[in-house]
Structures are given as C-alpha cells and as structure tokens.
Amino acid sequence: MKTKTVYVCSECGAESPKWLGRCPQCGEWNTYQEEHIAIDKRETLAGIGPAGIITDVKAVPLCSVAQKDVIRSTTANAELDRVLGGGIVPGALILIGGEPGIGKSTLVLQMAMQLPKRVLYVSGEESIQQIKLRADRISRAKADNCLVVSDTRIDALTQHIDSARPDIVVVDSIQTMQTERTDSLPGSISQIKECTAVLMRIAKTRSLPVVIIGHINKDGQLAGPKVLEHMVDVVLQFEGDRNHLYRILRSIKNRFGSTNEIGIFEMMSDGLREVSNPSEMLLGEYASDLSGVAIAAAMEGVRPFLIETQALVSTAAYGTPQRSAMGFDVRRMNMLLAVLERRAGFKIAAKDVFLNLAGGIKVTDTALDLPVAAAVLSSTTDIPICRGTCMAGEIGLSGELRPVPRIEQRVSEADKLGFSRIIIPQSSRLGPLSVNIEVCRVGRLAEAFRMLFQQ
C-alpha cells in the first residue's frame, strides 16, 4: 500500500498536489493543510466495483421507477420529529451540529433511550461508564434496547453492527473517528471525508439510519470540509446560549422534509424537556406596566410564537453612543434607529440603545421591525404600551410598513393567548378568521405610534 501527500483546503475540501496560498475554489487564504492518504490499487471505486471495471448498471426512464411508501420511525420526541419532517427515514444519514456543551449528546442519548427500536450508540469521546452516568441522570427507565460501545475505529463499525444488529446507529462524534486508509490525525479533512463516506455506504446499502454528531468551528460553521454537509441527507443545528435554559433545533438541510421547522427544548437537570407552546414560555414573566417592552408576533419557519422585545434607551455617558442587541441583528437595529431619526423625528442619535429578546433565543424574522421600534420609542418616552397589544410588521426605509408572510397564523396565535389587539401592515392579505382579537391595520410608522401611545 502506497502513501501520497496532498494538500487539502480546510474550508471547501479542495485538493492540490502542492501547497497554495489561496484556494482557487473558495478564495480563502492560508487554508491548505498537508494530508497523507494511503492508496490501495485493489480498492474499489465508491464500493461499487473494482477499479477499471464497469458494473452492470443501466439508466431507466423516470416514469418507470416503482415508488415505494417510506415508513418513518418516530423518535418518541415530538419536537425532534417535527424538525425531521415526521420521523427518521430508513437509510438516512443525519448530522447534528452545535457548540460544545449545548446538549447534542444529551439530545441524541435521550432519543436512543426512548426509541422502541434497537439502537447502537458508538462513542469516541466518552467511555461506556461515562455514558452510563449521563443516562442515569436523564432517565430512570431501563434502556435495554440501547447498546453502547466506545470505539474510534470506523473500520470496526461494520463488525459492531453485525454483532448487535441495530435498527439505528449513533456516532458521537465524527471528528473522533479515524480510518486506516488515511495516515492523518482524527478530525482532519481527509479523515472526516473518509469516515463519512463509510457511514454513508453503511446507511445506503443496509437501509440503516445513521445519526452523526459534529462539532462546529469558531465561526459557527460545522467543522470539517463543506462536502460533509453535501454528503449527508439531513443537517440539524442545535443552538442556544449556555447561560439560558432554552435550546433551538433548526433544520439546515433535509432531503425528506421541510427546512422551515424548528424544535424548542428546555435544558433541565434531568435532560432536555420538549416545549410544546413557546409563546407561554417567552411570555412567562411579561409585565405590561413597564416601558420599553413590546410583544412581537414572530415566526420561525412555519411555527408562530409571541416573544417579548425589550429596549433601553439612555443618555450616552461617553462620546460615542453604544448600540447593543441580544438575539437581534445589530445592523438591522441601526437601520431602524436611522428610520426613527429621519422619518419619525425622534432624536436618539446621541443616546445609548440596548435591545434584548426575552428567553435568550435568536430571531431573524423581519416582522420584529415594528415591535423593536415600538419598544425603543416606549423606552425613550417612558410610556408603557397598552396591555394586550401585540404587533408584527416590516419597516421600510421610507417609514412605511410592509407586509409579512403567514399573517393569519400570527393573528391566530395572538388570539389564542388572550391578546385583545394586534397591529399589522395595511397591505397585509388577511383571509376570513373566526377570532376575537381586534386587527388594526396601519400603513405608516407614525400611524402605528399614534395608535400605541395615545392616552
């Protein structure tokens, strides 16, 4: 067996026979790393047939392909099933990424212990005794169906599968696995590519679902080459603040379902708890008699929820005003402050502005523009917003309110939680709804402020 030296880009996985300062594929600088790859001339191409031999594979018309009903396996976790699109598809390769300590291993171990099927949990980071300690902490039930093994050899995984005969395989984590085909260290670009290729071949040839846990880098991206995300079928991002209790599971890629779903969990002492009603969670300590607080009817994917938007405006103690936002884009907040300054006539250029979304979650919905502006103005004038009022609307640079998608679901969610009034853009298309909430339509930012702060 021969060994060759190649240089691999850590960003996109491009290979080069020599070191390059800049990757010609992705354009990044100083990303090429030296890798040693073992070459076996007897090795098959992608596990299909011997090198140089064409296998008996023929192209067929698409209309003649027989369609089979896909039977999904539920995970006994409603939030996880929601993000997966209804359950786990046979032969699916699922990648779950997130920051260290966010709860990835806890989530997957809970799923493995709750599943009624046989699960093989392969850990390269913990011993079986450490897995047992965590299992005792998050569950008191006997998990006879969950088999655990501590091994970092991806080539031995087939032997473990043949002896255990599981229905689902969990690998924690892909960065700790290694194969003898590559001489590089575990976690390198070539090791991650080879190990993922082995897992993909196992999942597809045996129709065996495989769940992979992956790390992320300092930029918040999944560690390893970008081709890793292309190889797998489902990419889930587990995010949240370790200083807060709530976690959000987002679908980044899903070949078997929608990517517009999210799952919300609460980190407890005994593991992760499903949050079926996020609106009540985010409004649990809402005080309507305080200024600087506005309730937003937001959407994450196709899931509506109401969230408390908090703002604090004060005189700048130093020469340069401070702008800070938690859970909201700072650049978008600066744009909204400029619109308030230019279109609404409020002098806040020399004041500090601090913004926070309750619960420690991050929302990118543009419908938060109006609640953010209302909270900033409420803090500036020290006038609280009327109780039972929520709002949703995107603000344009001219001060106009632009429509937001899924307005019917936002109105229904506000009505379900007992709100008496919701403010939406004038041009929103709202179908017939049997709700008791008052729907107020406004076209300009100044009209919304007059409606909110009239005494």
Altogether, the residues listed in the chain come to a count of 455
Question: Order of strands across the sheet with 2-9?
Answer: 15-16, 2-9, 32-39
Please report, rounded to a whole number, the percentage of residues in the chain having pLDDT higher than 90: 47
Dump pLDDT digits (tens) for 272-295. 999 888 887 777 566 667 899 999
13 pLDDT more than 80: no
Q: Which pLDDT value is given to residue 67? A: 77
Q: Which pLDDT value is given to residue 44? A: 44
Q: Which pLDDT value is given to residue 438? A: 93
Residues 176-189 have a mean pLDDT of 84
As given in the structure block, the two tokens for residue 414 are: 């506000």
Q: Which pLDDT value is given to residue 213? A: 94
The answer to whether 154 and 198 are in contact (CB under 8 A) is yes
Dump pLDDT digits (tens) for 404-432. 999 999 999 999 888 999 999 999 988 88
Q: Which pLDDT value is given to residue 240? A: 81
241 pLDDT more than 70: yes
Please report, rounded to a whole number, the percentage of residues in the chain having pLDDT higher than 70: 93
State pTM to two decimals: 0.78
Which has more pLDDT, 69 or 83?
A: 83
Report residue 50's pLDDT band, with 50, 70 and 90 as the boundaries: very low
Average pLDDT, the chain: 86
Report residue 41's pLDDT band, with 50, 70 and 90 as the boundaries: very low
